[in-house]
Amino acid sequence: MGSRQTISQRPIRNSTVDVSSQAGLDIYHSVVSMGWLAYLSLFACAFLLVNLLFGFLYFVGDSAIGGLQSNSYQEYFFFSVQTLATIGYGSKFPQTLYADVLVTLEAMMGLLGVGMFTGIAFARLSIPRSRIIFSKVAVIAPFEGVPTLMFRVSNERNNRVIGAEIELTLFLRTTTPEGQSMRRIYDLSLLRNRTPMLSLTWLVFHPIVQGSPLFGHTAESLAELDFALVATIKGLDETISQTVHAYQAYACEDIQWNHRFKDMLTENPKTGRALIDLKQISEVVALPDESPHQSI
């Protein structure tokens, strides 16, 4: 049931590879992917630094700006703020060629900076983001008489993800006959890999039968093979009509052997309506009379 797809030597978790030192610093991607607090802080710092620089250049000029109340640096700094933001001078105005050149350069920088930061802010806002969550653990337990790997997926939003599709990929470290160690990637077959709409929860099953890369393994043997699972899901968000996606990685310590998931569905005794507690999406209970070291 598992088909070998390709070969990879990159680790899934706890990567020690410094990507930036090899591929160069991707400034645009870094700014787009940073948090809003960091982005706004970056904008504020850039705005202040530019005005501090131009304020100093105006300050060292010989009577470059007219209409000032005093000759303090503060007056030149706020003149720079007005110039960069193109909000008008009021009583302050450039009165030398030196000041006119600086005003021209700063106005050009202000237009470019506003356009750049506005464009990046729009790009950040337009990125479709999902609220799809996975259980933090996966379980291996009998299902309909067959050892089965299971995990849960749910949509936190009060809408639907149309045509949700999920894929489960297994990474195992193996050694070739030539003695080369590498990760092999396997696609794991699922009882159902697509749902017409994801609005509540979805329990995903991979039967561990003969032909599955997991067949015959124990928790100890998988740990020795640097085992990792990656689940990816994508679908169409009905509200924004854009494709959203999410993923979850499971290491060996995230797999609970001979456990099952707790039921998240309860019923309101007053209204009779079903309720789902997403806080319990990762809650499991142990199954009796099973050895956690049993092979599958």
Q: Please give the pLDDT value at position 290.
A: 54
Claim: this prediction has a pTM higher than 0.75:
no
* 3-class DSSP assignment, residue 285: strand
DSSP 183-199: EEEEEEP-S--EEEEES
Q: Which residues of the chain have pLDDT under 50?
A: 1-11, 14-24, 291-293
Q: Give the end-to-end CA distance of the chain in Å, rounded to a whole number.
A: 15
Cα gap 105→113, rounded to integer Å: 12
Pairing of strands 255-257, 138-143: parallel
Strands (E), the chain: 3-8, 65-66, 93-94, 132-134, 138-143, 146-155, 161-175, 181-188, 194-198, 201-207, 228-237, 242-251, 255-257, 259-261, 265-267, 274-276, 284-286
Q: Which tokens hold the place of 41?
A: 């802080």
* Cα atoms found within 13 Å of the Cα of residue 191, Cβ hemisphere only: 16
**Domains of the chain and CATH, by start:** 27-126 (1.10.287.70), 130-286 (2.60.40.1400)
Over the stretch 179-200, which tens digit does the pLDDT of each residue have?
Answer: 788 888 999 999 999 999 888 8
Q: Please give the pLDDT value at position 256.
A: 92
Do 190 and 143 form a contact (C-beta atoms < 8 A)? no
Q: Please give the pLDDT value at position 4.
A: 42
